[in-house]
A = this chain, B = another copy of it.
Amino acid sequence: MVSEHDSVVFDQGLDLECGVHLSPLRVAYRAYGTLAPDASNAILVCHPLTADQYVAEPHPLTGKPGWWARMVGPGRPIDTDRFFVICVNVLGGCMGSSGPCTARSHDDATLWGTEFPPVTIRDMVQAQAMLVEHLGITRLFAVIGGSMGGMQVLQWAADFPERVFAAMPIATASFHSAQNIAFNEVSRQAIFADPDWHNGHYREQGAVPARGLAVARMMAHITYLSEEALTRKFGRRIRHEPSGGIARGSLFGEMFEVESYLRHQGSSFVRRFDANSYLTITRAMDYFDLGADHNGDLSSAFARTPIRFCVVSFTSDWLFPTSQSRTLARALNRAGANVSFVEIDSDRGHDAFLLDEPDLDRTIRGFIGGAAEHAGLGI
C-alpha cells in the first residue's frame, strides 16, 4: 500500500518532539513543474488536515481533481510553468508518509496503528525540511498553505528563516483555540465510540470505524462552512424521497437537504482517510501554539526574520477568524518582518480558501509575482 505513493525513506530517522526516535522516516510527496538549475524556484504547498500530497492531479483513490488544482498548475496562480511545486503528505498522514498506516521498521512489517507516536506541526515541518534538502533545495522560494497548512507555514518561518524567501499563511492561526480543540475532541470521541474502533486495532480485526469517522467528518464539515453558506446552499429545503412524497413523518429518514449532504460528506471521507491518522493529526493541531513555544511572545518566533509574509484571512471564517490572523500580523510587525495582511470578503466560511474565490487567486498571484521580482528570479 505504501509503495503506491512516491516517497523517500530516510534511514537516519527523525527525533520527534515527544522524545521518540522515528526510524526509518518515510516522506511521501508529489512534485510538479521543473526545478531551476540553481534550485531557486521551489514552492512548498502545505496541505490542511484531511488533504494530502495530491494537490494538482486526480486523487489516486477517489479519482477526483487535486484538492487545490484550481490554484496549482500551468498558468494557475501557483504556476507550475514557472515554479517547481512540492506537496508533502504530513507525518502521521495516511497517504504514504510515516504514520499509523506505515510499517514500524524495516524488520517489523506490522503497521504502527494507534501506537504511532504523537507528532507535532514542528515534527511535520522537520520531515518536510529533510525532503527539501534531499531534493537539493537550499532555500524554498515560498511556503504556502491554508488552515493546518498555514500552521506549517508559520512553523517553517520560525524554524528555518534562512531557508524560506516568502511565506503565505492562509486562514490559519498561531495557536489552536479552545473552541477548535473542543471540536477536535468531539470528533475523536465519535471515533472512540464506534464499535469498529477496537481501541485502535481495527485493521487487525478487519474492521474500519466508519461510522465514528463519518460523524467526525460531518461535524468538522459544519465548522468549515459559514451559516450564510449553509443557508444559501440548503436553507430548510426538504429532500424529496424517491417515492415523490415528503418524508415528514419519517423521523429517522433523510429529510433536510443539509442532512443528506452531510451524510455524503461523511461516507465519502471514510473511503479515503484513516481513523488513526485523523486522531494523530487533530492532536498535532491541538498542540500547536507557536507563541507558547517562544515563552509566550509570538513575535520572538520571527525575530529578525528575512522572510516576506502575506497573511490572508476570510471575513466569514469562524474556525480561524480574522482576529487570529490580525494577532499574527501584529506579531510579525513587532518582529520587524516584511508583512502584508489581506482580509478577503467572503461569506463561505473557512472553506473559502479551497473554493472559487477570485480575490484569493489575485492575492496569491500578486504576492508570488512581487516576491519573485524581489528575489530576482529570472522566470
Is A179 interfacial (CB-CB < 8 Å)? Answer: yes
Which of B178, B186, B250, B252 makes the CB contact (< 8 A) with A235?
A: B178
Segment of A44-52, A142-150, A190-198, A332-340 engaged in the interface with chain B = A190-198
State the main secondary structure of chain A at its contact with B: helix
A211, B266: Cα distance in complex, Å: 19
Among A18, A178, A259, A280: residue with most chain B CB under 10 A = A178
Query: When A193-B212, A211-B192, A235-B178 are in contact, do A185 and B251 touch as well, CB less than 8 Å?
Result: no
A227 with B178: CB separation less than 8 A: yes
A249, B116: Cα distance in complex, Å: 11
Is A279 interfacial (CB-CB < 8 Å)? Answer: yes
Query: When A18-B249, A186-B218 are in contact, do A177 and B231 touch as well, CB less than 8 Å?
Result: yes
- List the number of copies, as a whole number: 2
Which of B188, B189, B236 makes the CB contact (< 8 A) with A178?
A: B236
Is A182 interfacial (CB-CB < 8 Å)? Answer: yes
Is A68 interfacial (CB-CB < 8 Å)? Answer: no
Closest to A230 in B: B178
A225, B181: Cα distance in complex, Å: 14
Within 8 A of B (CB), among A242-270: 248-252, 255-256, 258-259, 262-263, 266
A residues lining the B interface (CB < 8 Å): 18-19, 114, 117-118, 175-179, 181-183, 185-186, 188-190, 192-195, 200, 211-212, 214-215, 218-219, 222, 225, 227, 230-231, 233-236, 248-252, 255-256, 258-259, 262-263, 266, 279-280, 283, 286, 289, 292, 318, 321
Query: When A175-B236, A318-B318 are in contact, do A248 and B18 touch as well, CB less than 8 Å?
Result: yes
Known: A179-B222, A179-B230. 7 other contacts (CB 8 A): A182-B258, A183-B219, A185-B256, A186-B218, A193-B211, A195-B195, A251-B283
The 7 sampled A-B contact pairs (Cβ below 8 Å) are A177-B236, A178-B231, A178-B256, A179-B227, A181-B256, A192-B211, A318-B318
A235, B283: Cα distance in complex, Å: 16
Query: When A186-B215, A211-B193 are in contact, do A234 and B279 touch as well, CB less than 8 Å?
Result: no
Nearest CB of chain B from residue A234's CB, rounded to whole Å: 5
A94, B318: Cα distance in complex, Å: 35
A263, B211: Cα distance in complex, Å: 20
A178 with B215: CB separation less than 8 A: no
